[in-house]
Amino acid sequence: MGALDYIKNLDRTVFDSHNDYGYIAKAEKGLSKSLVRRISKEKKEPIWMLEHRLKALGIFYQKELPTWGVDLGGINFEEIIYYVSPKGMKGYATKWEEVPKEIKQTFERLGIPEAERKFLAGTGAQYDSLNAYHKLKEQWEGKGVIFEDMDMALKKYPELVKKYFMKCVPSSDHKFAALHGAVWSGGTFLYIPKGVNVTQPLQAYFRMNAKSMGQFEHTLIIVEEGAKGHYIEGCSAPKYGSTSLHAGCVEIFVGSNAHFRYSSVENWSQDTYNLNTKRAIVDTLATMEWVGGNLGSGHTMLYPCSILKGRGARADHLGVAFANRGQIQDTGAKVIHVAPDTSSTVLAKGISKGGGVSVYRGLLQINKGAVRAKANIRCDALILDQESRNDTFPKMKIYESDVAIAHEARVGKISEEQLFYLRSRGLSENEALGMIVNGFIEPIVKALPLEYAVEMNRLIEMEMEGVIG
């Protein structure tokens, strides 16, 4: 069976089921200074990182929960397991045969090794707090590309990590950035040297398996001048019926004239609070592209941010969020134009069904001096039934007058006429609805590599199941 057929035949159980793989120590619930010290000690981190963690923990205790957006009252910080190391995983493997069998099977079911063989330049696979597998193909190693597990990168390239780590998203940013700064573990480090064009995508997959788990992977990406690359993240977690928390952090530094694309398909289980922080700093004439799909997870707050720091920098944000029964997808984009001649586009698509709530929350800021900045924001919502909802909160802070801004928001219901037309061609009502929804998100899906586009369409199909009757 080919990878595409495999993806087409995926069903929800692949994501929702867990395995009973054991853990080294009895997993410790709750947050404390001693836990933070233990994480740092187990990872044999330099002292500056321990200091960073402890400082971040202090900030976490001081900061209040956000008073806007999603109600986060359901998170019991004492009940969450912040760090677990699966049994027998001292470090990651670079061969799948060396990955513990059950863990390997999990990733095989998710189609990761298959994708790696077929089209990826490098692959990482994180299981709970640690990476089980990490590998960059040799041809890219030879060109000086670094694609590492974040813990390992801290050991191997301490200066490089220290220079950039949480400089784009400081711990002081908000409560969950602080929490992340204190207990982060695993994640990806990607460095693309000057002028290197990594033509194949690199991928990391983050899997939460343990119950009541918190996953806090850190992704740090440095794209040097004139370099080019595409990084993809996939995420999922099993369903337990108890709250889990994902508070990852993605920092991207895009050098002058560089071009970088970050794509992610987040498909956490409905038990998950997905409170991710993603941000890029974009230098002169560089381009940053965000492509994101948010399905799954009970509560999401996610607003990828681009800071257009250099003259002529550009950002494109493409996002789709699907809120099904019991879900709140509060997502959007933030763009901050700092320099002249910068430009940005945002295309956000929200779908709500079965009482789900999708929210577009965006910030467009144009600083004084960012003359001739251009921004184009479009958010479309599709509401599939009477009980579902969509809200749009576009915020604009414009401090420069010589700018061009366009904003368009559209909220639509499924058109009866479209539905009837498709049904009159022999499609069932569900097939017709699925087709209209897939068509609605097509502008975003087409920006994904084929395998992910197929996965995304399949995930949408799964969400669409049982719409009628």
Among 16, 225, 400, 431, binds other proteins (CB under 8 A): 431
Nearer to other proteins, 17 or 415 (CB): 415
Nearer to other proteins, 1 or 47 (CB): 1
Q: Which two tokens stand for residue 460?
A: 């949408």
DSSP letters spanning 269-334 = -TTEEEE-EEEEEE-TT-EEEEEEEEEE-SEEEE--EEEE-STT-EEEEEEEEEE-TT-EEEEEEE
Q: How far is the CB of 230 from other proteins (least distance, A)?
A: 23
Q: Say if residues 320 and 457 touch (Cβ distance below 8 Å).
A: no
**Size of site (CB under 8 A) for other proteins:** 23
DSSP letters spanning 82-142 = ----BTT-SS-BSSGGGS-HHHHHHHHHTTHHHHHHHH-SEEEEEETTEEEEEEE-HHHHT
Number of H helices, E strands in the chain: 13, 23
Is residue 5 close enough to count as binding other proteins by CB under 8 A? Answer: no
Nearer to other proteins, 91 or 466 (CB): 466
Nearer to other proteins, 341 or 461 (CB): 461
Is residue 308 close enough to count as binding other proteins by CB under 8 A? Answer: no
Q: How far is the CB of 468 from other proteins (least distance, A)?
A: 11
Site string for other proteins, 398-427 (x = CB under 8 A): -----------------xxxx-xxxxxxxx
Nearer to other proteins, 33 or 446 (CB): 446
Cα(342)–Cα(344) distance, rounded to whole angstroms? 7
Site for other proteins in 363-402 (CB under 8 A): none
Nearer to other proteins, 144 or 439 (CB): 439
Site for other proteins in 91-150 (CB under 8 A): none
Question: Exposure of 84 by Cβ count < 10 A (0-12 exposed, 13-18 middle, 19+ buried)?
Answer: buried
Q: How far is the CB of 245 from other proteins (least distance, A)?
A: 34
Is residue 429 close enough to count as binding other proteins by CB under 8 A? Answer: yes
Cα(253)–Cα(313) distance, rounded to whole angstroms? 12
Q: Which two tokens stand for residue 416?
A: 């009866």
Among 109, 407, 443, 467, binds other proteins (CB under 8 A): 443
Nearer to other proteins, 16 or 429 (CB): 429
Q: How far is the CB of 429 from other proteins (least distance, A)?
A: 8
Report H helices in 329-407: none
| List of residues contacting other proteins (CB under 8 A) | 415-418, 420-429, 431, 435-436, 438-443
